[in-house]
Structure formats: structure tokens, C-alpha cells
């Protein structure tokens, strides 16, 4: 009599999360990550820029002590504090009056953000990150974040003098580092760390992909949670809408560059048998780009500075729905193959 062979259970996918920034649209990223954490996966590393870094801080601190449930609770706590600190909270009218009030408010926010480029330098109080700093400090265990060793965590900021990216990790991930990563120069004064000044990490690494590819992390998959679409159908015609699209193109440029470079390196690494452990690690990682819906960046989309709770909840649900759709189409690729097939312009040329 032969022994029956027990069916082999495939290993859990080991996911490295790369989280793009996008101001209040980081709440969309909250929804995406929250839905991903419902799956039977293991998070093995996180990289983030701007709002992606702050989401990442919540994920890492929560995951270190409570696994997926802890990460989800930390994300909800973070965005609850962001909404509580919002100067727009008194204007959160919800469904009542929304069809009449919302278009006016969105237009006002566009005008305010545009004018901030010229007004804010003369009003130091406007450029204060105090509200965001307080929301992060009250919702994330920053001491644990710096001490924990369970999840490698990388925070990107832009070093102003050199124009290059700096990655904060380990004990260097402080509240100042998170603020530097989220410091949009048109809204906030530069953040100083060790005598050097920094702006938003999205200018130079949105987010940084390279550190997640090391053999030490051992990821089977890299999931890039994109906040700003590469392409949009309708740009709009107002000055505010045009400036929004200019900003989107700027913040996507480094992700576009890094994705193309990584894809080319992987093609080479997989075509050749390399003895270099770094190249072998790069070749093994499956790439996935979870792109947002077009309406997130179109002229009818919510402002990236609108942090009212009702707006954040809508963005969260949009993120969950987008992640659900991606999983329905691509769940079977996790741990097995890349679902990323190329950038939009590459697909057009094929």
C-alpha cells in the first residue's frame, strides 16, 4: 500500500510594498493597502514617499506588533487624526447640500493652492506643518517605528541643496524624517534635519524601489501602490487644473524612470545566469503596479489638500474597490509571475 501524498500548500507570497505619495489622496492608498492586508500574504518590507511614507509608518508600526490587523487599525487611527486636525472639518457637510456646495469648495481649494505659491512665503504660519505633525505623532508609535526590526522601512525625502533623494531607515525614521518626506514646498517651509534642508520625497523617489529588491528582504513580489495615474483622459482648462496636471507629471516622472530601468535590469538578469546575489534577487521579484482610476486625477477629482473625513472615507472606499478589482484579475500571479507588462507608452508602441 502506497502512502498518500499530502497536497502541497504553496508558500504565502512575500510582499514588499512601495507606496506613492499624493497628499490627501493618500487615503486612497489607505484603502488599497487595507484590502491587500485582507489577503493571505506576508509583508516583508515597505518603502514610501510623502503620504506614502506616512501610510508606511502606520503599516510598519502596526504590523510589527499586531500583524495585518494591527496595520489596518493603525491606518484608520492615522487618518482619523488627520481628519480631526483638518481646517476644513467645519465644512464637512456630507451628502446634505453636497451637489451645490462641493463644486464651489473644490474650486476654492484650487484657487487657494495656486495662490499659496505667492502668498505663503509672506505668511509663515500658513507654512507650518504643525497639524500634520501632531496627527502623526498622536497616531503612530514613533519610538517603536525606529526600534522595530521586523519590517525594513525606507522613507524618501529630497535633499534641497543637491537635488538628490535621501532614504531614511532604521533609527533615522523620526517624526522630522516623515515631515520632510511630506513637505510640499508650495505649502510648507523646508524641514531641517542635522543642519540640512529637505522637501517632499516625491520629487526624487516616489517611492524608492531599489531597497526593496535586496536578497535580505527576500520578497517574492513588489506591489507598487500608485496614487497618481500616468495618463488621464481630461486635463481640464483652468489654471488650477493645468497646474495640477503639471504637478502630477512631475511626481510621476521618477516612478516612470525607475520602473523602466527596473524592467530592463530584470530582463537582463533573467536572460543570464548571474552569480551576483543582488542580480539574482532582482530577477526573482515579481512586479505589480496597482494603478488608480482616472477620476482620482481628473478635473472632477477631489483636491489633494481636502482632508475632510467624508472625503477621506470616499477615497478609502475607492482604494478598496480598485484593489478588489486588481485582485480579481491578478490574484493568481502573486508569488508566481509579474502582472506589470509595461508603461502606457510602451504598450502603445507594441
Phi/psi of residue 225, each to 5°?
A: -95, 100
**How many CB atoms sit inside 10 A of residue 141's CB?**
17
Catalytic (active site) residue 50: yes
C-alpha cell at 300: 472632477
Smallest CA-to-CA distance from 176 within 209, 145, 220 is with 145
Q: Beta partners for 193?
A: 196
Instruction: Please identify which of the residues 110, 176, 200, 221 carries the catalytic annotation.
Output: 200
CB 8, CB 214: distance < 8 Å = no
**How many CB atoms sit inside 10 A of residue 134's CB?**
15
Instruction: Give, rounded to a whole angstrom, the gap between the first and last alpha carbons of the chain.
Output: 56
Cα(188)–Cα(191) distance, integer angstroms: 9
B/e letters for 97-116, b = 16+ CB within 10 Å, e = fewer, are: eeeeebeebbeebbeebbeb
CA atoms within 13 A on the CB side of 219: 32
Cα(224)–Cα(14) distance, integer angstroms: 14
Cα(74)–Cα(198) distance, integer angstroms: 26
Cα(335)–Cα(14) distance, integer angstroms: 7
**Which residues lie below 8 Å from residue 337, measured CB to CB, with a gap of 6+?**
286
Instruction: Please identify which of the residues 47, 50, 116, 339 carries the catalytic annotation.
Output: 50
Residues acting as catalytic residues: 50, 200
Amino acid at each position: 500500500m502506497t502512502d498518500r501524498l499530502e497536497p502541497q500548500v504553496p508558500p504565502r507570497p512575500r510582499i514588499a510594498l512601495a507606496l506613492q505619495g499624493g497628499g490627501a489622496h493618500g487615503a486612497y492608498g489607505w484603502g488599497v493597502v487595507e484590502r491587500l492586508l485582507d489577503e493571505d500574504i506576508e509583508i516583508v518590507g515597505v518603502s514610501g514617499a510623502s503620504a506614502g511614507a506616512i501610510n508606511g509608518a502606520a503599516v510598519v508600526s502596526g504590523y510589527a506588533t499586531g500583524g495585518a490587523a494591527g496595520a489596518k487599525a493603525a491606518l484608520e487611527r492615522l487618518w482619523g487624526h488627520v481628519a480631526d486636525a483638518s481646517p476644513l472639518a467645519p465644512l464637512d457637510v456630507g451628502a446634505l447640500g453636497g451637489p451645490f456646495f462641493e463644486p464651489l469648495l473644490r474650486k476654492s481649494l484650487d484657487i487657494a493652492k495656486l495662490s499659496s505659491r505667492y502668498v505663503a512665503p509672506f505668511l509663515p504660519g500658513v507654512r507650518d506643518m504643525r497639524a500634520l505633525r501632531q496627527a502623526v505623532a498622536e497616531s503612530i508609535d514613533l519610538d517603536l517605528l525606529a526600534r522595530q526590526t521586523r519590517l525594513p522601512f525606507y522613507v524618501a525625502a529630497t535633499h534641497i541643496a543637491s537635488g538628490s533623494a535621501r532614504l531614511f531607515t532604521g533609527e533615522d525614521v523620526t517624526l522630522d524624517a516623515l515631515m520632510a518626506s511630506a513637505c510640499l514646498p508650495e505649502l510648507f517651509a523646508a524641514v531641517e534635519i542635522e543642519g540640512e534642508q529637505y522637501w517632499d520625497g516625491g520629487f526624487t523617489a516616489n517611492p524608492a524601489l531599489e531597497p526593496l529588491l535586496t536578497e535580505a528582504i527576500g520578497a517574492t513580489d513588489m506591489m507598487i501602490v500608485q496614487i497618481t495615474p500616468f495618463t488621464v483622459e481630461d486635463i481640464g482648462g483652468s489654471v488650477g487644473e493645468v497646474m495640477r496636471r503639471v504637478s502630477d507629471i512631475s511626481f510621476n516622472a521618477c516612478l516612470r524612470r525607475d520602473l523602466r530601468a527596473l524592467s530592463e535590469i530584470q530582463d537582463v538578469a533573467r536572460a543570464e545566469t548571474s552569480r551576483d546575489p543582488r542580480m539574482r534577487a532582482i530577477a526573482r521579484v515579481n512586479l505589480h503596479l496597482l494603478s488608480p482610476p482616472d477620476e482620482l486625477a481628473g478635473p472632477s477629482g477631489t483636491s489633494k489638500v481636502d482632508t475632510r473625513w467624508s472625503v477621506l472615507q470616499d477615497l478609502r472606499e475607492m482604494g478598496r474597490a480598485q484593489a478588489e478589482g486588481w485582485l480579481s484579475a491578478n490574484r493568481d500571479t502573486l508569488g508566481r509571475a509579474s502582472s506589470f507588462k509595461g508603461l502606457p507608452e510602451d504598450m502603445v508602441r507594441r
